[in-house]
Structure 1
Amino acid sequence: MTGDTEWSLRLPGEGKYLCRRTDLGVVTPYPLHVTYRSANWSDNWQQVGEWMPVGPLFSIQCEDVEGPVDILLPHVLCLTDATELTPEDLQVVHVVGDSPELLPVTELTPSHAVTRFKKGSLFGVVGRTAKVRCISRNGLLTAFAAVNDSDISMLKVYIVSNTTIMHEALQKNEKGWNFAPCDYRTCELKPGAVYYLEGSITNGRDMFVSSSPQCLMFEDTFDTNKFYEPFRVEVTSDIWNSSTTSRLSLELLKEVNNDAKEPIAELTLGHYKRGNTAEGVDSGLSTPTEFEKSVESLDIAGRGSILLVGDEYCTSKGGISTINRQVAHMITAAGAKVYATVLEASQQDERDAERDGVRLLIPRLDVDSSAKPSLEWLTVYHKHHFPHIPSDISCIVGHVDVTSRAARKIKEERFPHAKLAMFGHVAPEETEHYKSDEKALGVGRKEASIQDDIGKADVVFSVGPRIHRHYDRFLHQCGVDHYIFLPEPSKVFSEAKMTFGEEVEVEKPERVVLSIGRVRNVEMLKGHDLAAGSIDKAAQRLDNQYTLRLRVRGIDENDFKDSKRILEEKLRSGRVKPTLLPYGTQEEIRRDMEACHLVLMPSRAEPFGLVGLEAIAAGVPVLISEHSGLAEMIKKLSDRLGQPTFRHCIVKMKGDTATDADTEKWADAIEDFITNARSEFAEARAFREKLLASKYWEESHQTFLQACGITATPSAQAEGGDAEADDSN
């Protein structure tokens, strides 16, 4: 592609811009017209013994330069392996005509070296040979299969520098030989090291995999006018058959001391064959050909590591952390490497993360400081407290409005090449009015702050239809991809053992009602006043028939007294005494559900309502507010699953806080459920089975896995504004 494609970007104003086709970046304080193309080192700069290239070379021209402009030049150095590297060991070669000069690097990130633009033509990062020769490179192990070979029995496997320019050059070259990309992995490669490729097949059949040459020595690959030798892999027979799963694994090994070999990276090219099952029905699984088509659109960064930006890994404090952990499990199950930031981690968190296959990143603490970790450590001071974030991050995931700003800052300041995905959990315009006048007054600022973050994302997943509807128009105007994400109930709840339990008649049987979530400062929003007031009314009506208990899980110990007072103010009759329970794990909440007869979710405004979904998955009767994303989902699913009567668990509300109208509605619903508990348990059990069997969540999860940093647009793009990107030959 070098010399064939030139990009012309008209940058609209101040900002940091990044071209995804080349990874070249520009920081400008004013509108700027930039024209650039990639170039070859061998044609333009003869390597001086003291210096060697560590990144691609570019020809860059800027028009209308009125002041300082910085350019971000990609490099391939693994900085975690460069502890002895000093700023003077890296420079930028600047060539004007036949006269090269060295420019200082003003800032070094894991992916780019920054320097001040000077009038001229060629720019590229070089390092002092004695220092950078021994530093590992961000490399790429990438495989190409013959297009007409549906069995993938002939492949070419390259080890090259991980640059978008090199990846596109390989694709273009192999396309001419009727080869297409079929898989790749990012990895660390060391110049001068010798690498071997070993293949194996697992499908219950004896087969032979040959690879030639026996080994290859890795050197940096920045020039696109050169031929780079691949490993050529052949499989002796058809590895696909209709009755088994076939998997072709190719492992890259580095030669170390004493002829030993160290594993570096592995490609798994196996898949399932589309064929007939034992019953003669199409199995619906993908053929190798379909697999090749799907990966042709993968972005080069898509198979790097995924960074989940969170403040905790436990799930005791509600929906955002629960979904963050669910996303982590989804990604690791798909075979990707996941790192998750946390501010603190208990031993249980560490065990959970290890079980999920997730690597926790805990902040580095200052020896002389007693400061308590805060979100600022992720947002403002991430370079100081989280310097150990790996360099191969290809996608960063944040959560509105807890870590969305932190995710955005980490991307902009350290991983400009990475894709930014965000989850939308809140809609302040709906919820803040029920918190306080101060919160209501700040709705505009909070909405603007959220829009500022999600408008910079590459893709946004809104949890449920309600949040999706709230932000869809804005994100459409910003050109940000936007999808609905539907959570899957945790197995902790879907595997709960729920029974009604009473086999004989009991005088004034006990009925336990469970509400989950903190009370103080959100009692109006979460409807705890409704829960307490309606249970009090129901207790009065059922005084001679049942003994009612109210349990509230999720109380901070510092809020215990205030929370108890808020609830008791509504429990005026004295017939019900609230039991307040602290934050709990999913296992503890499941035990709460197994011990109760009814779960309440009486929120006046609930963007989704994960607690209600978990109760439904556990098979316990539940009452949920109609003003929730969950209610909208249940209405659709109850009809689709052939159980429209289940929608009677949705309580219609006026939203009037000045009267007891909604309290009366909830009291009526609670009374009805309590007096018909046996049949309600049967109804809940039936819907639970249909809900879990439907796998309603699968489509949105597949969309996430496909959209989160693995697709690329066919044309050059720039971040930071409506920049035009024109290809001209």
Structure 2
Amino acid sequence: MVPRSTDEDIKAASDVDVALVTPASIPGLNSRELLLLRPVFADSSWEPDVIIGHGRVLGSYAAAQKQQFFSRARRVHFVHTDAEQLEAAKEMPGGTSRMASADERRNLERDLARSADLVVGVGPMLTATITDDLIGLSPRPKIMCMVPGLRSAFDPASASPPVRNALLVVGRADDFQSKGIDIVADALLKVVDRWPQSRPHPPVLVLRGVPGEAATDVKARLDEIFEGRVAYHLRPYSDSEELVKQDLAQSRVMLMPSRHEGFGLAAFEAIASDIPVLISAESGLAQFLRESHIDTEPSSIVTTRNTSTRLAIDEWADAIWYVLTHPAPSRAQAHEMRKRLSEIVDWRTAVDYLLAELDGLD
């Protein structure tokens, strides 16, 4: 169900066996408000067996659909974020607390999960979070963990390695602190200062996902760190798969330096496309890779936390330096990582597991 759709949207969905439905169009209602209306089905007597809501943002609309129109349907609530961890990651040292926002969002996620028939955590970290958040509450829904299947953005075998040393970061760049962009910027400064003048193609940072209204602020913060010594390109958020494919294919390495990341789908898609990745140790994806005993040498998992003996930016600088100066081995290890992951995760298995859990509900 979507608020509105074009003929192009309907055709694209139909090509992958998905039927888009929309509610009746009512002047004056925004997109979110339209999701509170009953969808219009081709067969007016048809009703869904399962309604799926994603996170605290869209989960409320799924709950409303069941309560108002489809009381016999099972409701599944997917958990995509850990509100407390994410809000804490946005806090600046010595700055304003985000406690109130974190508590409000955590309570909303918990209430939506508590009232669902089945709760699905995306990856092991988020599954553990929602499991603990529901302790002591009754009734308590069934909880399961789902790891997405690998979906390559392009055919890795058909893509030539890039010539330039572009480092890609994908995400809301206005969340400068939580996304760890300052960590990568400081680390990249160390790499560039170490880069021999005789060596071609010094590193270039590419940030995909910069909101238009935040571009000037993001630029100012990067300029303050780089002082004109590092090249970078800001690119706006885009839902174009073609642009995402190009970004990945043109990148020497994809970076996910988040101080907290519930899972890390952007890095997961890079792995699916044989692109070397460096990912935050403070992410659900890192936890899944470690539990599955899948990694590269040196490790693709890098901490964003300082220790008593070493700064996080030094860890990231060394990891970036290795990938850029050893492109062939890094790409070969990325291929091996994808191969090993493809042996344990795929969409068919994930969906079958979800359906089995639904069938097992009382």
TM range (shorter): 0.7 to 0.9
Matched residues, number: 350
How big is each residue's C-alpha offset from its partner over 1:570-597, in whole Å with a ceiling of 9 and x where there is no partner?
Answer: 2224332334244142332122111111
Distance 2:239 2:318 in 1: 30
1:466 alignment partner in structure 2:
125
Distance 1:702 1:651 in 2: 33
Q: Residue 335 of structure 2 aligns to which amino acid in structure 1?
A: R
Matched, 1:515 2:169: yes
Secondary structure of the 2:4 match is: coil
Residues 423-572 of structure 1 mapped to structure 2, 5 A cutoff: 423-435=78-90, 437=96, 439-475=98-134, 477=136, 478-493=139-154, 497-500=158-161, 510-520=164-174, 522-544=175-197, 545=199, 546-572=201-227
Q: Residue 482 of structure 1 aligns to which amino acid in structure 2?
A: I
How big is each residue's C-alpha offset from its partner over 1:627-680, in whole Å with a ceiling of 9 and x where there is no partner?
Answer: 0000011123345xxxx5457000023169xxx922222112111211111211
How big is each residue's C-alpha offset from its partner over 1:25-48, in whole Å with a ceiling of 9 and x where there is no partner?
Answer: xxxxxxxxxxxxxxxxxxxxxxxx
Q: Residue 597 of structure 1 aligns to which amino acid in structure 2?
A: R
Q: Residue 534 of structure 1 aligns to which amino acid in structure 2?
A: A
How big is each residue's C-alpha offset from its partner over 1:167-210, in whole Å with a ceiling of 9 and x where there is no partner?
Answer: xxxxxxxxxxxxxxxxxxxxxxxxxxxxxxxxxxxxxxxxxxxx
Q: Residue 194 of structure 2 aligns to which amino acid in structure 1?
A: R
Q: Of the two structures, which has the highest relative contact order with CA contacts closer than 8 Å and spacing of 6 or more? A: 2
Distance 1:535 1:563 in 2: 16
**Distance change >3 Å, CA 479–CA 575, structure 1 → 2:** closer
Q: Percent identity?
A: 25
Distance 2:230 2:132 in 1: 49
Structure 2 gaps of 5+ residues are none
Distance 2:306 2:60 in 1: 32
Residues 345-494 of structure 1 mapped to structure 2, 5 A cutoff: 345-366=5-26, 369=27, 371=28, 373-378=30-35, 381-383=36-38, 386=39, 391-435=46-90, 437=96, 439-475=98-134, 477=136, 478-493=139-154
2:318 to 647, 668, 674: 668
Distance 2:4 2:218 in 1: 26
How big is each residue's C-alpha offset from its partner over 1:22-77, in whole Å with a ceiling of 9 and x where there is no partner?
Answer: xxxxxxxxxxxxxxxxxxxxxxxxxxxxxxxxxxxxxxxxxxxxxxxxxxxxxxxx
Secondary structure of the 1:397 match is: strand
Contact kept, 8 Å, 1:489 with 1:613, in 2: the verdict is yes
TM-score scaled to structure 2, two decimals?
0.88
**Distance change >3 Å, CA 635–CA 712, structure 1 → 2:** closer
Contact kept, 8 Å, 1:615 with 1:622, in 2: the verdict is yes
Contact kept, 8 Å, 2:150 with 2:345, in 1: the verdict is no
**How far 1:495 sits from its partner (Å)?**
5.3
**How far 1:398 sits from its partner (Å)?**
0.4
Contact kept, 8 Å, 2:261 with 2:282, in 1: the verdict is yes
**Distance change >3 Å, CA 620–CA 712, structure 1 → 2:** closer
How big is each residue's C-alpha offset from its partner over 1:310-356, in whole Å with a ceiling of 9 and x where there is no partner?
Answer: xxxxxxxxxxxxxxxxxxxxxxxxxxxxxxx1123345432221112
Distance 1:431 1:538 in 2: 28
Q: Residue 605 of structure 1 aligns to which amino acid in structure 2?
A: H
Residues 119-268 of structure 1 mapped to structure 2, 5 A cutoff: none
Secondary structure of the 1:591 match is: helix
1:636 alignment partner in structure 2:
291
1:306 alignment partner in structure 2:
none
Contact kept, 8 Å, 1:620 with 1:684, in 2: the verdict is yes
Q: Residue 205 of structure 2 aligns to which amino acid in structure 1?
A: L
Contact kept, 8 Å, 2:296 with 2:337, in 1: the verdict is no
Contact kept, 8 Å, 1:489 with 1:614, in 2: the verdict is yes
**How far 1:561 sits from its partner (Å)?**
2.2
How big is each residue's C-alpha offset from its partner over 1:251-292, in whole Å with a ceiling of 9 and x where there is no partner?
Answer: xxxxxxxxxxxxxxxxxxxxxxxxxxxxxxxxxxxxxxxxxx
Contact kept, 8 Å, 1:564 with 1:580, in 2: the verdict is no
Contact kept, 8 Å, 1:634 with 1:647, in 2: the verdict is no
Secondary structure of the 1:526 match is: coil
Distance 1:482 1:523 in 2: 32
Q: Residue 376 of structure 1 aligns to which amino acid in structure 2?
A: E
2:334 to 678, 684, 708: 684
Secondary structure of the 2:243 match is: helix
Q: Residue 561 of structure 1 aligns to which amino acid in structure 2?
A: T
Secondary structure of the 1:407 match is: helix
2:257 alignment partner in structure 1:
602
**How far 1:616 sits from its partner (Å)?**
0.8
Secondary structure of the 1:359 match is: coil
Distance 2:172 2:278 in 1: 18
How big is each residue's C-alpha offset from its partner over 1:428-484, in whole Å with a ceiling of 9 and x where there is no partner?
Answer: 010012335464322112111111111000101100000011111344644311110
Could you list the structure 1 runs, at least 4 aligned residues long, displaced by more than 6 angstroms after superposition. Answer: none
Residues 316-331 of structure 1 mapped to structure 2, 5 A cutoff: none
Q: Which structure has greater strand proportion? A: 1
Contact kept, 8 Å, 1:590 with 1:618, in 2: the verdict is no
**Distance change >3 Å, CA 712–CA 688, structure 1 → 2:** closer
Distance 1:651 1:578 in 2: 24
**Distance change >3 Å, CA 471–CA 391, structure 1 → 2:** same
Contact kept, 8 Å, 1:496 with 1:618, in 2: the verdict is no
Secondary structure of the 2:214 match is: helix
**How far 1:686 sits from its partner (Å)?**
2.0
1:115 alignment partner in structure 2:
none
Secondary structure of the 1:580 match is: strand
Distance 2:219 2:356 in 1: 47
**How far 1:702 sits from its partner (Å)?**
1.7
Secondary structure of the 2:129 match is: helix
Aligned-CA RMSD value: 2.5
Distance 1:412 1:453 in 2: 13
Secondary structure of the 1:382 match is: coil
Secondary structure of the 1:562 match is: helix
Matched, 1:701 2:361: no
**How far 1:494 sits from its partner (Å)?**
6.0
Residues 322-341 of structure 1 mapped to structure 2, 5 A cutoff: 341=1
Q: Which structure has greater helix proportion? A: 2
**How far 1:359 sits from its partner (Å)?**
1.8
Q: Residue 33 of structure 2 aligns to which amino acid in structure 1?
A: E
Distance 1:529 1:571 in 2: 10
Contact kept, 8 Å, 1:553 with 1:584, in 2: the verdict is no
Distance 1:681 1:449 in 2: 42
